[in-house]
Amino acid sequence: PEFLVELFKIEVPEVGQGLIDILGAARDPGLRAKIAVRSNDSRIDAVGACVGMRGSRVQAVSNELAGERVDIILWDDNSAQFVINAMSPAEVVSIVVDEDARSMDIAVEEDKLSQAIGRGGQNIRLASELSGWELNVMTAADAEQKSEAEMKELIELFAKQLDVDEEVGLILVQEGFSTIEEVAYVPASELVEIEEFDEDIVSELRNRARDVLLTQAIIVEEKIDETEPAEDLLNLDGMEKSLAFLLASKGVVTREDLAELATDDLLDIHEMDQEEAGALIMKARAHWFEEEQQA
């Protein structure tokens, strides 16, 4: 990409002078490339300047690259709009952004799907590389079906976790809520603004949402506690603390748990000398023999 950028600096004076910035480039060498440009002067059309009269400037760059086709993409600070631009020449019907996964679902008309993907996935791959987002392209019909399925799943989630009917779940989804955390912690005023909700309903929903989150937090904490080794395992003669925690993470929490293991079982969990493993297990079983003698 650096070579491509340097060629544009030579062929496009505005780039060389800093009037136009090249903010990104992606290449499939010898075949196709995309560059993102932005003008620092409102009087200059960044894309038009890079293309040149009758395509002369971009053609000059292409000739230097053995005929490599170059798409000039207008930069946009809005990530979704930039991806729409980067998908050129494909026309995007709709786009759904997942900020957490840093991915976008892009819908196009069915007869434009192959163009959007490009030969061997070239167009979608270059657009993804240029934008820095994972892009999933699909037909508008498939996108609608996926959206409906996700919406249904979310409605059922709200209905189950908040113990409300699906109508309430539907209202939350339609109002843009997608997590229990949002219901619990968005300002109450935002929920009260929903036509179907009054202050009592909002208060109850928020309390239920917070109860769900508290219960989930307790469960997580209990699971963490369960993975901690018991005192009798930690204090066993010859037991290293790191090994005790490793054993606990595998479900061997107490001295009794260790005593019930076969030597091979212990070796599957932790690499050690076979005799050492056998000796450790025998130490864990020592109380068995003491109890037998006392009996």
Provide the whole-model pTM. 0.64
Task: Kindly state the average pLDDT of the residues 151-156.
Answer: 95
**Number of folded domains in the chain?**
4
Confidence check: pLDDT of 15 > 80: yes
Q: What is the pLDDT of residue 292?
A: 66
Same domain, 71 and 11: yes
For 116-138, write each residue's pLDDT tens digit.
999 999 999 999 999 999 999 99
Q: What is the pLDDT of residue 294?
A: 66
Same domain, 119 and 67: no
Beta bridge partners of 33: 27, 70
Same domain, 66 and 82: no
Q: What is the pLDDT of residue 225?
A: 57
User: Residue 122's domain is classified under what CATH number?
Assistant: 3.30.300.20
| Residue 56 banded pLDDT, cuts 50, 70, 90 | very high
Mean pLDDT, rounded, of the chain: 92
CA distance 47 to 64: 19
| Containing structural domain, residue 287 | 231-294
User: Residue 242's domain is classified under what CATH number?
Assistant: 1.10.150.20
Burial class (CB in 10 A: 0-12, 13-18, 19+), 53: exposed
Q: What is the pLDDT of residue 44?
A: 96
Q: What is the pLDDT of residue 92?
A: 95
Q: What is the pLDDT of residue 290?
A: 77
Query: CA-CA distances (angstroms) from residue 268 to 127, 215, 241, 258, 275?
Result: 46, 35, 18, 13, 14
Confidence check: pLDDT of 9 > 70: yes
**Axis crossing angle, helix 2-11 with helix 56-64, rounded to the nearest 10:** 140
Q: What is the pLDDT of residue 242?
A: 81
For 197-237, write each residue's pLDDT tens digit.
999 999 999 999 999 998 888 776 666 556 788 899 999 99
146 in a structural domain: no
